[in-house]
């Protein structure tokens, strides 16, 4: 894995995110798993961290407030956005540092949108 379970746990703890359990994922039932993923959530956002067996890492962000990520992408510089539609946004990260930065920047941006003080 490009990211270890420890990397994900450290990033989540640093930001106060709740984590689910790691699950194997496949294209459809009965097929070999092509990766693992874990759900995360906070009062502002939820999503999942998806690690493929081949090493690619994707992060799904789901905004708990209704807005279209596509309208905010130019303000979220530095993210490798794979897809954004409605309240869903998929990004790609290559290592623990990128994961930390992405989580921090997205949460900070949502707090700014909501007018919540960053702590």
53 vs 5, more confident: 53
Position 1 pLDDT exceeds 70: no
Q: How many residues does the chain have?
A: 119
Q: Which domain holds residue 30?
A: 5-114
CATH of the domain at 44: 3.90.1150.20
Q: What is the pTM of this model?
A: 0.88
Q: What is the pLDDT of residue 91?
A: 96
Report the distance separating Cα 12 and Cα 84, nearest Å: 22
The answer for 19, left when phi > 0, alpha when psi is -120 to 50, beta otherwise, is: beta
Residue 35 belongs to a domain: yes
> What is the domain count for the chain?
1
Q: What is the pLDDT of residues 54-102, one digit of tens each?
A: 989 999 999 888 788 988 888 888 899 999 988 899 999 999 999 999 9
CB-based contacts of 71-75 (< 8 A; 24+ apart in sequence): 72/109, 72/113, 75/109
Residue 50 belongs to a domain: yes
Residue 11 belongs to a domain: yes
Residue 59 belongs to a domain: yes
Residue 119 belongs to a domain: no
């Amino acid at each position: 894995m490009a990211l270890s379970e420890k990397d994900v746990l450290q990033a989540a703890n640093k930001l106060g995110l709740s984590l689910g359990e790691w699950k194997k994922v496949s294209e459809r039932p009965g097929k070999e798993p092509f990766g693992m993923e874990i759900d995360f959530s906070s009062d502002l956002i939820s999503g999942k961290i998806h690690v493929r067996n081949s090493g690619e890492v994707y992060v799904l962000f789901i905004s708990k407030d209704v807005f279209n990520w596509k309208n905010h992408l130019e303000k979220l510089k530095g993210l490798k956005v794979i897809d954004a539609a409605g309240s869903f946004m998929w990004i790609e990260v290559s290592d623990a540092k990128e994961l930390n930065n992405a989580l921090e920047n997205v949460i900070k941006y949502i707090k700014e949108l909501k007018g919540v003080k960053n702590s």
